[in-house]
Amino acid sequence: MSAAAAITWQGVKGACLALPVLIAAVLAGAMIGETALAPDLVLSVLANKLAGAGLPVDPIDQGIIWSYRLPRALVAGACGAALAVAGVVLQALLRNALADPYILGISAGASTGAVAVTIAGLGGGALSLSFGAFNGALLAFGFVAILARAAGAGGSRAAAAQIVLAGIAGSQLFNALTAFIIAKSANADQARGIMFWLMGNMSGVRWPDVWLAVPLALAGWGVCRFHARALDAFTFGTDSAASLGIPVRQVQVVLIFATALTTAVMVSIVGSIGFVGLVIPHAARFLVGPGHRRLMPAAALTGAVFLIGADIVSRIIIPGQVLPIGVVTALIGAPSFAVILVRGRRAAR
Amino acid sequence: MKIEARSLSYSIRGKLLLSDVSLTVQPGETLALVGPNGSGKSTLMRLLAGLARPSQGEVLLAEKSLARLTRREVAQRTAIVEQQADTAERITARSVVELGRTPWLSALRPWSGEDSQHVENALKTVEMEGFASREWATLSGGERQRLHIARALAQRPGLLLLDEPTNHLDIHHQLSILNCIRNLKVTTVVALHDLNQALMCDRVAVLSGGRLVALGTPQQALAPEMVSGIFGIKARWVEDAEGSEPFLSFHLA
Ligand SMILES: Nc1ncnc2c1ncn2[C@@H]1O[C@H](COP(=O)(O)OP(=O)(O)OP(=O)(O)O)[C@@H](O)[C@H]1O
Ligand SMILES: [Mg+2]
């Protein structure tokens, strides 16, 4: 078997395992909700919309499935996968088990951008919340990157610790700015709305968001997957990676920018959903071990399914009310992770 | 593979850690690097491995300037075992050794049976075959050290740089690793603290305060007067009753 064939074969096998699971999760996302809709109804809608089958379906049901639930499930999947992969990459690169996609100040910056637009009235109402959040995230990340560089990260051996510290400093600064803007000019309703958004809100998701989130998640995935072996080489630190032939600086820059960009876009679409990027990587590590060629697909799949599931739960758990998805991810995620932690320990003995 | 250091100097934040070190190691030769703590052994190793760039001078690997090679090209020629390298990952012993194949793999050259063979051989050389599926955290210090050496061997380098490879090792494994290194056809530079182990190498370089103060056969470079001055001790040659090769005996001055 030629080298190239071997790679594609691995990829095909992986996709054969992952795709049915993903499709099932998305279909579940379209079926389950305040009004439960039968699987054949969902399939009819898909046939109508994708193949123009012209099957008779109640237009209200069709609207719910096609315009609301499907885009939500797809964005949740893209977002869960992207956050989980970003977490895997940053934990390996920074050699820090507590690293998550927000460690570079992105979530804090996004919230500052969001409140600057919605509460402080930046842009005079012409700018959207997502736009503000995205730019705030990039601004905060730029601040963190420059601070880390000025502190000598990259060349020196303590680089990883300095990036983490710069991220903490940046997050604190931007969180303080957010609090300042809220305290100065928000009324109680606005403050509540922002709180809600910060904990993750998928209710505004429509098809255009799908066209942004899904390709971006795939592209981010491609970049990270390409560097899987390089990430393995970071196991014993940057010097060891360099001595194994990894262009350390280049890999760090490419991966940090790729994860920062995907995370910033995801946050601007759905808010800063916590937990996924921190804990799914660890859960996946318990399942398939620390090698990144298996860990990355496992984390992406787990993250996608987990977030689609969390979105379903957030819609149905309190009748007539939608819970912020971040609350659900933490409420389900924390106990299930505790179970994995305990069982993983036993298996290791 | 021949390696040549040409008047290497290295300073960091205005502090001169190495000054004007020149030496050549011939293909297949084993050079021992000795010197007191802080004399610059690890620093010199890092320069030879291309992990740090000299402030002055250059390193030539098989007549090619190290600065002209990519990281990957350097890693296909040189392997280094650093003084301390640890991880919190729950990685198995075999995966650690497999890391050594990294410089030879790419998207178009995935893992093959040949790679597995190199990994098996390396594990066998350090007598760690039986530990292949153990987790890193469960291994002893000496077992970890032997895995790092195996990882370096799996890299199939032309130049092997070992920074105190025998610390943590029991006497059996100290001797077997040294023996293995000497029998390898690979050019080796090895930093050692046990001067009697340095005696087993082809040549010895002595560093003190960042300078190369002696370079030659073990008998020349480790002459008792030299050793006594540098380490602040008294050394002398002794032979045992059975007429062994002379070895060094020390006591505080
Ligand atoms: N980043 C650094 N900044 C300042 N001084 C440094 C730095 N790295 C090393 N040094 C100093 O350089 C000197 C040489 O260090 P090096 O690690 O090369 O010594 P060594 O000969 O390997 O010692 P040992 O036998 O203890 O391993 C030491 O005095 C050390 O304190
Ligand atoms: Mg040293």
Question: How far, in Å, is the centroid of ligand 2 from the Cα of B42?
Answer: 4
What residue type is A21 in one-letter code?
Answer: V
Same structural domain for residues B146 and B30? yes
- Give the model's confidence band at A250: pLDDT under 50 very low, under 70 low, under 90 confident, else very high: very high
For B185-201, what is the mean pLDDT? 93
Does residue A212 surpass a pLDDT of 50? yes
Q: Which ligand is nearest to the CA of B193?
A: 1
Neighbours of B64 (CB within 10 A): 13
- Between A336 and A29, the higher pLDDT residue: A29
Cα separation, A101 vs A159, in Å, equals 18
**Lookup: tokens for B223:** 């002459």
- List A residues 221-240 in contact with B (Cβ-Cβ < 8 A): 226, 229, 232-233, 235-237, 239-240
Cα separation, A242 vs A92, in Å, equals 15
- Between A192 and A168, the higher pLDDT residue: A168
Looking at the structure of chain A, the number of domains it has is 1
For A245-259, what is the mean pLDDT? 92
Instruction: Return the pLDDT at A34.
Output: 82
User: Cα distance from A235 to chain B (closest Cα, Å)?
Assistant: 6
Place of tokens 């066209």: A211
Domain span at B244 = 223-253
**Lookup: tokens for A257:** 């920018």
Ligand 1 neighbourhood includes B42 CB (under 6 angstroms): yes
Same structural domain for residues B73 and B110? yes
Instruction: Return the pLDDT at A344.
Output: 63
Instruction: Return the pLDDT at B69.
Output: 95
Q: What is the pLDDT of residues A79-126, one digit of tens each?
A: 999 999 999 999 998 888 888 888 888 889 988 998 888 888 887 777
Same structural domain for residues B180 and B76? yes
Question: How far, in Å, is the centroid of ligand 1 from the Cα of B77?
Answer: 25
Q: Rg of chain A's alpha carbons, rounded to an integer?
A: 21
Q: What CATH number is attached to the domain comprising A29?
A: 1.10.3470.10
Sheet holding B211-216, edge to edge: B78-81, B159-163, B187-191, B30-34, B203-208, B211-216
Looking at the structure of chain B, the number of domains it has is 2
Cα→Cα distances A294→A206, A249, A287, A319, B57, Å = 32, 24, 10, 39, 44
Question: How far, in Å, is the centroid of ligand 1 from the Cα of B37?
Answer: 8
What residue type is A25 in one-letter code?
Answer: A
Cβ–Cβ of A348/B90 closer than 8 Å? Answer: yes
- Give the model's confidence band at B206: pLDDT under 50 very low, under 70 low, under 90 confident, else very high: very high
A290: phi then psi, degrees, rounded to nearest 5: -85, -5
Give chain A's mean pLDDT.
86
Spatial neighbors of A25 by CB under 8 A, at least 6 apart, are A73, A77, A304, A305, A308, A309
Does residue A279 surpass a pLDDT of 70? yes
Give the 3-state DSSP-derived string for B153-174, with helices as H, strands as E and coil as C.
Answer: HHCCCCEEEEECCCCCCCHHHH
Same structural domain for residues B186 and B234? no
Same structural domain for residues B115 and B179? yes
Residues of chain B with Cβ-Cβ distance to A7 below 8 Å are: 107, 110
Q: What CATH number is attached to the domain comprising B126?
A: 3.40.50.300
CB burial of B13-24 (b: ≥16 within 10 Å; e: otherwise) equals eeeebbbebebe
- Does A98 touch chain B if contact means CB atoms closer than 8 Å? no
Same structural domain for residues B197 and B236? no
Phi-psi region of A96 (alpha: psi -120 to 50; beta: other; left: phi over 0): beta
Instruction: Return the pLDDT at A1.
Output: 38
User: Cα distance from A288 to chain B (closest Cα, Å)?
Assistant: 11
Ligand 1 neighbourhood includes B43 CB (under 6 angstroms): yes
Same structural domain for residues B79 and B102? yes
Ligand 1 neighbourhood includes B39 CB (under 6 angstroms): yes
Q: Which residue puts its alpha carbon closest to atom 3 of ligand 1? A: B12
Q: Which residue puts its alpha carbon closest to atom 30 of ligand 1? A: B38
Ligand 1 neighbourhood includes B40 CB (under 6 angstroms): yes
- Between B107 and A243, the higher pLDDT residue: A243
Q: Which residues lie across from A321 on neighbouring strands?
A: A318
Neighbours of B106 (CB within 10 A): 11
Q: What is the pLDDT of residues B216-242, one digit of tens each?
A: 999 999 999 989 999 999 999 988 878
Domain span at A337 = 3-348
Pocket test for ligand 1, best of B17, B44, B211 (most atoms within 8 A of CB): B17
CB burial of A247-284 (b: ≥16 within 10 Å; e: otherwise) equals ebeebbebbbebbbbbbbbbbbbbbbbbbbbbbbbbbb
User: Cα distance from B51 to chain A (closest Cα, Å)?
Assistant: 7
Name the burial class of residue B244, with classes exposed (0-12), middle (13-18) and buried (19+) by CB atoms within 10 angstroms of its CB.
Answer: exposed
**Which run of H or of E encompasses A125?**
none
Q: What is the pTM of this model?
A: 0.89
Instruction: Return the pLDDT at A346.
Output: 56
Instruction: Return the pLDDT at A158.
Output: 60
Q: What is the pLDDT of residues A306-332, one digit of tens each?
A: 999 999 999 898 888 888 898 898 888
User: Which span out of A322-326, B6-10, B138-142, B231-235 was modeled with the highest average pLDDT?
Assistant: B6-10
Same structural domain for residues B233 and B139? no
Contact yes or no for A170/A109 (Cβ under 8 A): yes
Nearest by Cα to A29 from A50, A46, A51: A46
- Does B110 touch chain A if contact means CB atoms closer than 8 Å? yes
